[in-house]
Structure 1
Amino acid sequence: MSRMCEGRVVVVTGAGRGLGRAHALAFAAAGARVVVNDLDVGLDGTRGAGAQAPAGSPARQVVAEIRAAGGEAVAHGGDIATGAGAASLVAAALETYGRLDTLVNNAGFLRDRMLVNLDDDDWDAVVRVHLKGHFLPLKHAAAHWRAEAKAGRRPVARIVNTSSGAGLLGSLGQCGYSAAKAGIVGLTLVAAAELARYGIQVNAIAPAARTRMTEHTFAESMAAPDTGFDAMAPENVSPLVVWLGSAASEGVTGRVFEAEGGRITVMEGWRAGPTADKGARWTPEEAGETALKLLGEAEVPGAVYGA
């Protein structure tokens, strides 16, 4: 990989395993100094014994990998879904390396249930880590960059958020996860519009890869026998994230990219389709008749995953 991010300081949340680990290693290989955040929790977000042994935590293991390869990295074990944890994450970059250039919001976990079986606490936990865990680091990083811009030091700042196909199309048994991931797309669009004046670009990816959260879905390696290319390896997603997190992506903001294997797709979201305007109030019968006519002219939406 080229040294596309030479001199940049990058924060990656949930970087102890899976996609986050792949992103952290890829940024380091591209020349960045990396803050590796990971709370070391189970697949469902609960703390395990590893959380009591920071020396052997996943974040510290990734830091060791980066340093062994000649890169620079530091571990951060705070909860980024709290104001204090998110503030300390930005502070870790500034205090260790004197700057912050890129934030990759990646942390998340699953508590899957069909809608009628999903407990309130499980809904709250999933929305908290995915949606609030994106909002708070974004808020604190943006506040720093805004202050820099106002002081005459306009940053070349980048934020890469992590949505999902579940957030774009929905996924059976994942109503909380799908809702949170859809919310991340809305957050991305608003943040991109509000922060552009300060030199901050905000984009999102919807990745498909084999991680702890998808190991049952993508259990097989899916490596092509002729090339050995593993289409579900998380490392396939990271090159796009590195580019979005670099100065080379200048002018790209408010966009959502799907990334899987060797495929990159620009996702096109809600936009006006067929329309009708009576110029006056509809009756319910007229509204229904018109809606059916318009639906017949509209594109059929993609199927919900698992349907």
Structure 2
Amino acid sequence: MTSMRRRLLVLVAAVLVLAGVGTGVVLHAADRADRANQPHAGYPTVSAGRLSLGQKSRVMFVNAAPGPHRTAVASVPSTDPDGSRTASSLKCARFYAAAGTGVCLQSNPGVLKQSNRALLLDADLRTKRTFPLAGTPSRARVSPSGRFVAWTVFVSGESYSSAFFSTRTSILDTRTMRLTPSLETFSVIKDGESYHASDINFWGVTFASDDDTFYATLNTADKTYLVRGSLSRRTVTTRVENVECPSLSPDGTRVAFKKRVLSRTDLWHEYVLDLRTLRETPLAERHSVDDQATWLDNRTVAYALPTSGNVKTTDLWSVPADGTGNPRLLIAGASSPAPL
């Protein structure tokens, strides 16, 4: 056998080996991708698909189930929240939507520091505008009409139980694209008098249906208050003490909120406040809820709790808003619910 022929045979053999290895790598990768899309223990199937805020009788949320669609905005039928999920390509740390308008807060790690931004979304989850954020995403809301969007970020500290933290809450008028960078520019009326302090923080905006009234949490002098605000007058007025992360009911008569249990603890219980009588009703959930609840309808609120045995993942639970009944698991591996 000539040396040329031997070299040719060696080359052919090498090509065949490499081809086999390449095929194996491709098949292995395909197998891994296929298995990643299969249901994980305790979770339903998650499949890629197109989502729209115009879809009715569905609940959208941030998917926390393991796999390639983790943190993606997903959707399930409101009548079958345990069913298969459809996930979009949009990934968010916080999400909310109403009346064809959506908001997605993103946090992406960088070489020197993380990059945080808010995306204003249209009904097909396409980005209309992007706004830089001053800190880590915390809360997001859209008004019932879709005209106003609000978000809260941590400028310092990482949670509301931190000894030292600072927040910044912004409101965007999607009609004029006028951005109020911080609610701290609004005038504060506390106990009937004008109030000024250097330690004021706001978080957890929730909007009424009149495109003017909103509610939020005001923190100052180690106390929290429910405030009622006016966008047109650029004022907020204190209503009740020890109210955090309010969420206004669809009929505008009540606010679900988390109430701190015992001073200076990171334990919160979920309550509902009647805005006319200011009567508070404790809800049946006995776990500590560190979330801004969402009303699924006028009778039911939903909220996120850490998954048992996995503090890095949350599940969505629901409970009757009148204090009766028992909590029930709504969507496993999920956060930031937005009922359409």
Normalising by structure 1, report the TM-score: 0.31
Q: Which has the larger radius of gyration?
A: 2
> Which one has a larger percent strand, Structure 1 or Structure 2?
2
Larger helix proportion of the pair: 1
